Amino acid sequence: MILYFFSKNVKKICIFIYALRGNENSYCFFLILNYNGAMTVGFILNGEDVSVRVDAEVRLIDILRKNFSMTGAKVGCLGGRCGACAVIFNGVVTKSCLIPAFRVHGSEIVTIEGFSQNDEYQDIVQGFEKAGVEMCGYCDTGKILAVEALLSKKPRPSRYDVLVDFKGVKCRCTEPESLVNGVFATADIRQRRRYGRSS
């Protein structure tokens, strides 16, 4: 398990690495990395190799918006609770407000701008439209990527699956039942697109 702690005043990153080896003794390693200036972070963004020079503790959400004008991810709670800042980070839907710059280096990131070029995005938009899901422009990214994360795991999710997965998305513009219907409609559309049938 790795825990990250930030101190903006001294610009230090403390990394606790705790390793447990079966029934053997446990080992705990403490490492402090000092960054007295900016670091160059290289990564893949929507299929393109990019790099940016930023302080190590800068959040990914700020890098995307300020350095690359990727504004689809919204600044919300900054605590990983609302889902408005969601991106696909190394293949997994993740809250970008929780990812510091030093973790971005060497990663692959797909924002909603990049994801919108895929058929999977169109499936979700069509499913939402069919179910009458409200698209307010603020929490859309969180809702869309939450659907993608769920359907990637469970192509035919239950109502319970949808409600559980959407706990990490704070959406005040859409009723829970509308979201459930939107996910079900998306699943049908995706099945028909891929296999020519809905089940």
pLDDT tens, residue by residue, 57-107: 899 999 999 999 999 999 988 888 888 899 999 999 999 999 999 999 999
User: Same domain, yes or no, for 47 and 96?
Assistant: yes
Are residues 174 and 159 both part of a single domain? yes
How many residues appear in the chain?
Answer: 199
pLDDT at 199: 57
Where does a domain end: 96, 114, 132?
114
According to DSSP, the β-strands at 26-34 and 12-20 are: antiparallel
Range of weakest confidence among 44-48, 116-120, 174-178? 174-178
Cα 182–184–188 angle (5° rounding)? 115
Q: Are residues 93 and 131 in the same domain?
A: no
**Among 114, 133, 153, where does a domain finish?**
114
Domain co-membership, 58 together with 108: yes
Given a cut of 50, whether residue 30 has pLDDT beyond it is: no
Mean pLDDT confidence for 161-174: 83
What distance in Å separates the CA atoms of residue 140 and residue 135, rounded to the nearest whole number? 6
- Residue 105 maps to which CATH number? 3.10.20.30
Select from 80, 57, 88, 185 the least CA-distant residue to 131.
185
User: Cα(90)–Cα(5) distance, rounded to whole angstroms?
Assistant: 22
Q: Are residues 101 and 48 in the same domain?
A: yes
Residues 28, 87, single domain; the answer is: no
* Single pTM value for the model: 0.76
Higher pLDDT, 3 or 153: 153
CATH (domain of 139):
1.10.150.120
How many structural domains are present in the chain?
3
Which one, of 143, 154, 59, 38, lies nearest residue 109 by Cα? 59
Window from 29-38, 47-56, 117-126, 156-165 with minimum mean pLDDT: 29-38
State the number of CA atoms in the 13 A half-sphere of 96 facing the CB: 31
Q: How many angstroms separate the CA atoms of 149 and 184, rounded?
A: 14
Give residue 69's pLDDT: 97
- For residue 100, what are the domain limits? 39-114
